[in-house]
Amino acid sequence: MTVGTVLITGGTGYIGSFTSLALLENDYNVVIVDNLYNSSKVALDRIELICGKRPVFYEADVTDEKALDDIFAEHPDIDSVIHFAALKAVGESSVIPLEYYRVNVGGSIALLRSMSKHDVTNIVFSSSATVYGDATRFENMIPIPEHCPIGPTNTYGRTKSMIEQVITDHVEAQRRNLKKADKPYEQWNGALLRYFNPCGAHPSGVMGEDPQGVPYNLLPLLGKVATGDMEKLKVFGTDYASRDGTAIRDYIHVLDLARGHLMALNYLREQKPGVKAWNLGSGRGSTVLEIIKAFSSVVGRDLPYEVVDRRPGDVLDLTANPALANKELQWKTELSMEDACADLWRWVSNNPQGYRQAPPAK
């Protein structure tokens, strides 16, 4: 029996593909829209390989409102959207800011407009811990709770905080207008999910992160060092006020993150809370050197690194307080950073070319 049908934008991407899998495994139908800018259709094969079901796929751009209208018209059973499609490279966002605002903010507006025309009224949005900026500027805000004032320090982060505002304003206006017209208004709901540092891969070793081009996140880079594609890792600064001088992040396994989307979607559909933000993190912070040690341990040898200057824009500590999601969404992480390292290594060593190689035999 099907629970419902969900449109997933960016569903062939890293987190989107794992969330599509989690939904299919929990009896949702999944329709994906993605322009394949940073992903590959092979992700669909891998989803099917793992769960025996294949999402419906449309290659289209989320800024194309007409294309979204056509998809909703073709699938009148869609009642919810999980919105991942975005550009996400922090450094690049300050080089081509208009492109980031056009795709991320413009794409979200096109999506909300199209949803409204087709009475699709639940939206789960990929926000980011980056909206908090440097939470250490406040006292007692580490681990970071949702009520910590936001203050993104880069263009990418500003697109995320703007979209949070756009969704909030739109959902609240829809609820007010419908209520005034004496129509059911509670069905308009939004979840703003602020992820900390997603990482890891499927334990089967057949599905993982496969960014086009050079990765810039710590764990994928360590993967490149382990396979010999990169000589060594650069550690960005050892002069932070942490236990070993390197910066602290909350690394969350992508399987836990995907399950968080399922729980948030279920919560919106059942509780109809309006718009709410939730942190999706483990509550456990790890330093860069601790990550290098954990990954080296699963690889079975010390991975080379050199210490360089701090990366501009980096902050000391981004660790989540996940208490609200624990309580309201009944969600908490079940996998550790060490599990993520082991799963990432299995993925990287089985698929050195990512999805650009033949899929494994069934």
Footprint of ligand NAD (CB under 6 A): 10, 12-16, 34-39, 61-63, 84-88, 103, 107, 126, 128, 195, 198
Min dist. Cβ of residue 16 to ligand NAD (A): 5
* Residue 234 interacting partner from ligand WQD, ligand NAD, none (CB closer than 5 to 8 Å by kind): ligand WQD
Q: Is 314 in the site for ligand WQD (CB under 6 A)?
A: yes
Helix (H, G, I), strand (E, B) or coil at 304: coil
Min dist. Cβ of residue 354 to ligand WQD (A): 18
Distance CA(25)–CA(124), nearest Å, equals: 18
- Sole binder of ligand WQD in the list 44, 103, 142, 233 (CB under 6 A): 233
Min dist. Cβ of residue 243 to ligand WQD (A): 14
- Sole binder of ligand WQD in the list 130, 174, 266, 296 (CB under 6 A): 130
Instruction: Determine contact, residues 344/276, Cβ cutoff 8 Å.
Output: no
Distance CA(57)–CA(15), nearest Å, equals: 16
Q: Is 104 in the site for ligand WQD (CB under 6 A)?
A: no
Q: Is 159 in the site for ligand WQD (CB under 6 A)?
A: no
* Residue 63 interacting partner from ligand NAD, ligand WQD, none (CB closer than 5 to 8 Å by kind): ligand NAD
CB atoms within 10 A of CB 156: 22
Q: Which two tokens stand for residue 125?
A: 């949005």
Residue closer to ligand NAD by CB (options 185, 208) is 208
Helix (H, G, I), strand (E, B) or coil at 307: strand
Q: What angle do the packed helices 337-350 and 288-299 form, to 10 degrees?
A: 50
Distance CA(45)–CA(238), nearest Å, equals: 42
Of the listed 156, 185, 251, 355, which one is catalytic?
A: 156
Min dist. Cβ of residue 203 to ligand WQD (A): 21
CA neighbours closer than 13 Å in the CB half-sphere of residue 2: 11
* Residue 305 interacting partner from ligand WQD, ligand NAD, none (CB closer than 5 to 8 Å by kind): none
Catalytic status, residue 156: yes
Helix (H, G, I), strand (E, B) or coil at 340: helix
CA neighbours closer than 13 Å in the CB half-sphere of residue 301: 7
Distance CA(123)–CA(338), nearest Å, equals: 32
Helix (H) or strand (E) holding 213: none
Residue closer to ligand WQD by CB (options 37, 178) is 37
Q: Kindly report the backbone phi and psi dihedral angles of residue 124, in degrees, each rounded to the nearest multiple of 5, phi listed first.
A: -105, 125
Residue list 326-355, contact with ligand WQD (CB under 6 A): none
Beta bridge partners of 138: none
**Count residues contacting ligand WQD (CB under 6 A)?**
19
Judged by the rule CB under 6 A, the positions of this chain that interact with ligand WQD are 88, 90, 128, 130, 197, 216-218, 221, 233-236, 247, 249, 288, 311, 314, 318
What residues are annotated to the active site?
Answer: 156
